[in-house]
Structure 1
Amino acid sequence: MGNRIHYYFILFSIVIFGCKETEVTPQKSADLPLSEHLTLGNPSGATDNITDINNYLLLKPQYALSYSRDRGIPNWVSWHVSPDWLGSADRQDDFRADMSLPSGWYKVSATSYTGSGFDRGHNLPSADRTKTVEDNSSTFLMTNMIPQAPNHNRQTWASLEDYTRDLVRVGMEAYVIMGSYGVGGTGSNGPTNTIDNGRVTVPRNIWKVVVVLPQGENDITRINESTRVIAVNTPNINTVNTDWGGYRTTVDEIEQATGYDLLSALPEQLQRVLEAKVDNGPTR
């Protein structure tokens, strides 16, 4: 009888503690649905675990991003630009809070940047998502915005965004990762570190990596040592040069500044080659 009781106690313990372990295991990014927009990898290893408050993964049909609750802005946003995403949908201008953020998190609103001297700067540009009204509207969620110096947003960055779409229109496609880091930028009202009563950080630097391919299938397998990779790192200031080409750098330099692994889905040898190059191609 004693042996039988001992056996049932052990069995009961295995069931109880086994269930508890399963219940508290956090969901890893590898368990999440694959996204077209993470074809090149997940730069910061972001997950949708609520404990990752400053590296929280949001997967939208139109893009993917890592969000920082404490900074009130994305760390990076990743997306694909191809003819499948371009059409004739109008710009929606429906800036709004992203209600998909976890309950209890502060949600940056459409008016959070008002009077700050900074634009609500898109990471994924509105004009990269014009196939449908829904696609375009998705770009106006505030989780896709950073406080961006107006001249930076409307001139330097707009020129790079236009150039990327021009490449798509002549037979290319692009995988784009944009992000920001540091604290403190200079907008039309002068320098500042935060806005919205300290709840939104103004980044010091804004960067972008664009991987350019001829349109086709099985994109990841078509990237080789000759693939054009445009890496740009700029100061978030209103006196920024309008020529984005002057800010070209290496992916390695951006990785060193951010701690991210930007092209992690590629073979390591290919990463080493592509990430060490400074693009010298045309800029318009």
Structure 2
Amino acid sequence: MLKFKPVILSVILLSILTIFVGCGDESQGSASSKAWLAAGTVNCNATTNSIQTQGDRNLTCTATILTQGDTEWCSFDLASSVLETTVAVGKPIYIYMKKNTAASDREATLRVLFSDGYTADFTMTQTSFSVSADYDRAWGEQPLYRAEADYVYKTYYTTLSNGKRVRNYSICYDLDRHVSNWVAYPQHASYWTGRSYEVGGTTQGRTNAWAYDDTQTEYTSSSPYYRVVSRNVTQPAIAEQDQQYIIRSYGQGGYQRGHMLSSASRYNTWETNAQTFYATNMMPQNGSFNGGSWGNLENSERTWAGTGRYDTLYVVTGASFKSSKSISNANGPIAVPSHCWKVMVQARKEFRDKPISECTADELRAIGFIYPNDASADGMTLGDAACSVREVEEFTGFEFFHNLSADGAAVKERLVLSDWGISN
């Protein structure tokens, strides 16, 4: 008997990586009859897909899995092998799949037959196994996946005040150091304008909701202006003891809880801002540096992102550890970054209606910054810290913006300060 592990529907839907919508080969019944495959290609970890149907409400349709190779890996039932099912038109037909652990893609052919004679055939492909399948999305900010025993990759999602569900930021978290190696995110005015919540005192848009990752908080009118209401642990889970304890300040050596994605860049909703106060978004930063030149860079970042529709700035902020310094913490020592850095890429104004993955190097602009994590950095200007993205790659060992085309990636070699309004 073919067995499919039951999964929560929300997790199922997130597991699908849609490459294109499968339209299939059709023969016509009534003009209003239609069927389509939600995803023609899914990744190796996908466990569900669906066939959507529309037409006269009195019709029924029968879906059949015609072929799926030598091994049964998909079914219309979670718990057993069901290769044919009939439903009323208008209801989705769910296809349940096993994860693909093989080194090659596999295909299944499916047919949908309506009671009015309309038919549609589809080919569904599940890609070969990849350790980075859920990570390797076509997001402009995404660095190249690097497998290390202590690295955890995770993305936090949020719903903006316009109702749109979006990614907030992604992390490469180091369990040993208790600090993220990098935090990657899109920078756009829709994330920080149109605040939809209240906060107390002089906090402006800051929730100051210091917490472990996935902690849910809400506003309260008395200081500290928030309370913890629940935890919604999404995968991969990071144990609390593997995170920094940040409910109170570090209280050591002048170090502050430094945001990697700044709070001021995420003022749109309570959840969007509160997620920036997760322990996984913090690094110990020298206090004068954090409040000085680093803050100036964060302000410039938002200026460069602008307010237009096609002006997204793709940013990776990170920490480097060229020394073995650490500070004590309730959950174990936290490594102190010797340097803090950022890299950014953006389509030039006249090309902002194109995905950056389709842009040539001449249609893009890119820049990097490296600062020492000490008081000496407070006096540094943007021009002092500026460098090419390639230089930051060489300094950190990470490869950035891996979804750029081979031609577009050449922009990482360039440093043109005037592109960013920076003087030498």
Scaled to the shorter chain, the TM-score interval is 0.7 to 0.9
Deviation of 1:103 after TM superposition, in Å, equals 3.7
Does structure 1 residue 97 correspond to structure 2 residue 233?
no
| Partner of residue 235, structure 1 | 372
More displaced, 198-207 or 170-179?
170-179
Identity of aligned residues (%): 26
In 2, Cα distance between equivalents of 1:144 and 1:257: 21
In 2, Cα distance between equivalents of 1:104 and 1:121: 19
In 1, Cα distance between equivalents of 2:417 and 2:142: 25
2:317 to 169, 178, 192: 178
1:55-95 residue CA offsets vs partner (Å, 9 max, x unmatched): 21011111001000111100011000113212243211111
1:270 to 404, 408, 412: 408
Q: Which amino acid in the other structure matches residue 230 of structure 1? A: I
Relative to its length, the structure with more helix (as a share) is 1
Indicate conservation of the 8 Å contact 2:259/2:277, yes or no: yes
| Partner of residue 108, structure 1 | 244
Shift in CA distance, 138/167, structure 1 to aligned 2, threshold 3 Å: same
| Partner of residue 170, structure 2 | 64
1:152 to 266, 272, 289: 289
| Partner of residue 86, structure 2 | none
Instruction: Compare relative contact order (CA 8 Å, sep 6+) and give the higher one, 1 or 2.
Output: 1
2:193 to 80, 87, 97: 87
1:114-135 residue CA offsets vs partner (Å, 9 max, x unmatched): 2341111111111111111110
2:327 to 183, 195, 204: 195
Indicate conservation of the 8 Å contact 2:255/2:284, yes or no: yes
Indicate conservation of the 8 Å contact 1:163/1:283, yes or no: no
Shift in CA distance, 121/29, structure 1 to aligned 2, threshold 3 Å: same
1:11-69 residue CA offsets vs partner (Å, 9 max, x unmatched): xxxxxxxx9x95xxx9722135847xx424333435xxxxx542210111110010001
Indicate conservation of the 8 Å contact 2:319/2:339, yes or no: yes
Indicate conservation of the 8 Å contact 1:119/1:147, yes or no: yes
Asked which structure has the greater CA Rg, the reply is 2
Indicate conservation of the 8 Å contact 1:70/1:199, yes or no: no
1:136-177 residue CA offsets vs partner (Å, 9 max, x unmatched): 000000100111111221111111111121223353320001
Q: TM-score, normalised by structure 1?
A: 0.77
Shift in CA distance, 44/204, structure 1 to aligned 2, threshold 3 Å: farther
Aligned residues: 249
Indicate conservation of the 8 Å contact 2:140/2:404, yes or no: no
In 2, Cα distance between equivalents of 1:154 and 1:147: 13
Indicate conservation of the 8 Å contact 1:122/1:144, yes or no: yes
More displaced, 223-232 or 174-183?
223-232
Q: Which amino acid in the other structure matches residue 67 of structure 1? A: Y
Indicate conservation of the 8 Å contact 1:77/1:144, yes or no: yes
Relative to its length, the structure with more strand (as a share) is 2
Q: Which amino acid in the other structure matches residue 372 of structure 2? A: P
Shift in CA distance, 142/53, structure 1 to aligned 2, threshold 3 Å: farther
Q: Which runs of 5+ in 2 are unaligned?
A: 1-97, 102-128, 158-167, 196-204, 215-232
In 2, Cα distance between equivalents of 1:80 and 1:104: 27
Indicate conservation of the 8 Å contact 2:370/2:392, yes or no: yes
In 2, Cα distance between equivalents of 1:29 and 1:126: 29
Secondary structure in 1 aligned to 2:312?
strand
In 1, Cα distance between equivalents of 2:271 and 2:416: 34
Q: Where in structure 2 are the equivalents of 1:209-228 lying within 5 Å?
A: 209-213=343-347, 214=349, 215-216=352-353, 218-222=355-359, 224-228=361-365
Indicate conservation of the 8 Å contact 1:81/1:176, yes or no: yes
Shift in CA distance, 132/219, structure 1 to aligned 2, threshold 3 Å: farther
Deviation of 1:280 after TM superposition, in Å, equals 1.2
| Partner of residue 29, structure 1 | 132
1:143 to 254, 264, 280: 280
Q: Which amino acid in the other structure matches residue 196 of structure 1? A: S
Q: Which runs of 5+ in 1 are unaligned?
A: 1-18, 47-51, 185-191
Secondary structure in 2 aligned to 1:139?
helix
In 2, Cα distance between equivalents of 1:249 and 1:217: 25
1:231-261 residue CA offsets vs partner (Å, 9 max, x unmatched): 1111111121241221111222211122211
In 1, Cα distance between equivalents of 2:240 and 2:211: 17
More displaced, 145-154 or 94-103?
94-103
Deviation of 1:196 after TM superposition, in Å, equals 2.0
Indicate conservation of the 8 Å contact 1:231/1:279, yes or no: no
